[in-house]
Amino acid sequence: MQENFRQFLDRLRQTGELVDLRQPVDIRHIATLVDQAKTALFFHKVIGYDVPVVSGIIRSRERAMMGLGADTYREIEDKLAAAIAKPIPPRHVKTSPTREVLMTGDEVDLYKLPIPMSSIYDGGPMITAGVVIARDPELGINSGIYRFIVKEKNLTGIDIVTPNNMRLFAQRALERKEPLPISISIGTHPIEITGSGYRAPLGVDEMAIAGGLRGVPVELAPCATIDLPYIADAEIVLEGEILPTGWTWPEGRFGEFTRLMGGLHWNPLVRIKAVSMRKDAIYYNLHMPWENTWLAAPTRYAAIRQALRTAGVQVKDINVTLGGCAFWHAVISIKKQPGEAKNALLAALSVMDLKHVVVVDDDIDIFDPMDVEWAIATRVQGDKDVMIVSNARAKPLDPSLPQGAGIVPTGAKVGIDATIPDGIPKEHYERITYAYADKAKLEDYAKGKKDEAGKSADGTEVAALAKEILAAIEQAPLYYTDIAEKFSTYDFRTVARAIGHLHATEKLWQDPRGRMCVRGSQFAASLPKK
């Protein structure tokens, strides 16, 4: 896919997924307007600014699919898995339209950019869609998205409390007592947002994953003041450096993917040394939390499927649920071999910051919360089927963990094996199914369908029928409903009387599955011994 950011906006516009607001709008109203909108919004006239704002572009499942060129949501995951398996390294170009305007030194003024605030408790105007690229002298290139709160005209924070690769790069630079140069590309296509949002292992270039998603290399161009590339298609690029302050400056609060306000964070500062932008640049304000969620979820799917593949588990389906903020919960259905549910739990729980995983058999619909709860209710013994691992890597944004300066909390991982326990007979899990469901259709009866009345009999005729039934169950045990159907030339009451006759004459018994058989025969169940 060669499409750039602007072409994507046009595609949204053409399909009615983006609405243009051409009247003057106060920047303070942008976030709530986006929150109320079903479409993306393009604010052409933001009062006091020369640059327009677009927001909410991937704030729905459909628009996330459009952004990744996928026909189904699942296809995003498949594309991501293919891109991870076959990354395409970026292509370096000399320059790009982003360099049409360049401001350096004293000219740098972040207050000229329409950077909105969003929620009531935000710590200030916040850059939410910056794809950050950095280089570590030994570990190579890394990219990711991290939020920046504007503090001065050329100073921001950077939210890297989570133990990710960018935090590691900043930590290593701090130990060298050096600033860490970073480029921040704002207004990039959802493909680059997805690539950089994927937490690749150290040494893997996320821009090459974005290239794999595109099927062609992502183009990168050199910054003006630092030795780093930026995304050539970006609308606006900030060039800066994370200062060696350590995690000593209060920043936030931030509205998080958890749908909660995070607490105050302690972060390093970032000095912005240059701003470059297109002459007619558009500022992209990524709206939390759903623009994050819809693109983050597929990265979890891909990583979980990979871990389960390595563990050799036969997976039917995975649901990274929205109730779990698309980060913390997964329900997985498997075709189980003995012991495999526990292996599946161990494998899935190793993925990222996943907290709670439920594994069910493949007869459970994992997209139906009631079915999953039913599996937990009927298949789990808490002492055998719940595994808890303490002190695993956790997301500091988890509000149930200790928070505060310098704290990198660890947390618990919980796995629930809600598969049918090994060694329990399958018939313990025979679901209620109704006799005649294939024939007796309510819609036909609503239209007036009538049933034929069977023969009714008494006395000797019932005894004769009982003999016939006895002959049938001598051959093989039959369920009561099978007998009722086999002798359906008689009405039900007559069949029931005949079976009653066999009971009264002490000929009737049942086999271990509950089928009718002859008393004392090879099929007959015997009372379990105490």
Ligand X SMILES: Cc1cc2nc3c(=O)[nH]c(=O)nc-3n(C[C@H](O)[C@H](O)[C@H](O)COP(=O)(O)O)c2cc1C
If one counts every other C-beta atom within 10 angstroms of the C-beta of residue 148, the result is: 28
Residue 46 engages ligand X in binding (rule: CB under 6 A): no
> Of 113, 166, 243, 351, which one interacts with ligand X (CB under 6 A)?
166
Residue 149 engages ligand X in binding (rule: CB under 6 A): no
Cβ proximity of 285 and 116 under 8 Å: yes
Give the whole-angstrom CA distance, residue 484 versus residue 515: 13
Residue 325 or residue 344: which is nearer to ligand X going by CB? 325
Residue 145 engages ligand X in binding (rule: CB under 6 A): yes
Residue 507 engages ligand X in binding (rule: CB under 6 A): no
- Binding span for ligand X by CB under 6 A among 157-165, 266-274, 336-344, 488-496: 157-165
Give the whole-angstrom CA distance, residue 160 versus residue 164: 8
Task: Sketch the per residue contact string, 324 through 363, with ligand X: x for CB under 6 A, - otherwise.
Answer: ----------------------------------------
Cβ proximity of 257 and 293 under 8 Å: yes
Closest separation in Å from C-beta 359 to ligand X: 25
Residue 198 engages ligand X in binding (rule: CB under 6 A): yes
DSSP conformation letters of 455-495: B---HHHHHHHHHHHHHHHHHS-B-HHHHHHHTTTB-HHHH
Q: Which two tokens stand for residue 236?
A: 């606006």
Residue (of 165, 167, 166) closest to 201 by Cα position: 165
Residue 393 engages ligand X in binding (rule: CB under 6 A): no
| Biggest alpha carbon–alpha carbon distance for the chain | 111
Closest separation in Å from C-beta 42 to ligand X: 19
Residue 24 or residue 399: which is nearer to ligand X going by CB? 399
Q: Which two tokens stand for residue 166?
A: 């960018």
- Binding span for ligand X by CB under 6 A among 85-93, 155-163, 320-328, 505-513: 155-163
> Of 142, 267, 276, 494, which one interacts with ligand X (CB under 6 A)?
142
Residue (of 119, 175, 176, 107) closest to 147 by Cα position: 119
> Of 5, 146, 290, 523, which one interacts with ligand X (CB under 6 A)?
146
Site for ligand X in 403-462 (CB under 6 A): none
Task: Sketch the per residue contact string, 105 through 134, with ligand X: x for CB under 6 A, - otherwise.
Answer: -----------------------x------
Element holding 510 (H helix, E strand): strand 508-510
- Please tell me whether residue 210 adopts helix, strand or coil conformation: helix
Give one word for 272, left, alpha or beta, with left for phi > 0 and alpha for psi -120 to 50: beta
Which residues have C-beta within 8 Å of that of residue 79, sequence separation ≥ 6? 68, 69, 70, 213
Residue 5 or residue 198: which is nearer to ligand X going by CB? 198
Closest separation in Å from C-beta 365 to ligand X: 29
Three-state SS string over 221-267 comes to EECCCCCCEEECCCCEEEEEEECCCCCCEEECCCECCCCCECCCEEE
Residue 157 engages ligand X in binding (rule: CB under 6 A): no
Side-by-side strand order, sheet with 329-334: 315-320, 329-334, 356-361, 410-418, 386-393
Residue 147 engages ligand X in binding (rule: CB under 6 A): yes
Cβ proximity of 2 and 214 under 8 Å: yes
- Please tell me whether residue 347 adopts helix, strand or coil conformation: helix
Closest separation in Å from C-beta 194 to ligand X: 8
Residue 5 engages ligand X in binding (rule: CB under 6 A): no
Give the whole-angstrom CA distance, residue 161 versus residue 440: 62
Residues pairing with 359 in the sheet: 332, 417
Closest separation in Å from C-beta 45 to ligand X: 26
Residue 167 or residue 501: which is nearer to ligand X going by CB? 167
> Of 123, 197, 212, 324, which one interacts with ligand X (CB under 6 A)?
197
Closest separation in Å from C-beta 285 to ligand X: 11
Closest separation in Å from C-beta 142 to ligand X: 5
Residue 243 or residue 499: which is nearer to ligand X going by CB? 243
Q: Tell me how many residues contact ligand X (CB under 6 A).
A: 19
Q: How far is CA 211 from CA 80, 149, 208, 302, in A?
A: 10, 29, 5, 17
> Of 17, 77, 122, 159, which one interacts with ligand X (CB under 6 A)?
159
Residue 127 or residue 473: which is nearer to ligand X going by CB? 127
- Binding span for ligand X by CB under 6 A among 57-65, 140-148, 437-445, 507-515: 140-148
> Of 225, 292, 419, 494, which one interacts with ligand X (CB under 6 A)?
292
Residue ranges in contact with ligand X by CB under 6 A: 128, 142, 144-147, 159-160, 162, 164-166, 197-199, 286, 292, 295-296
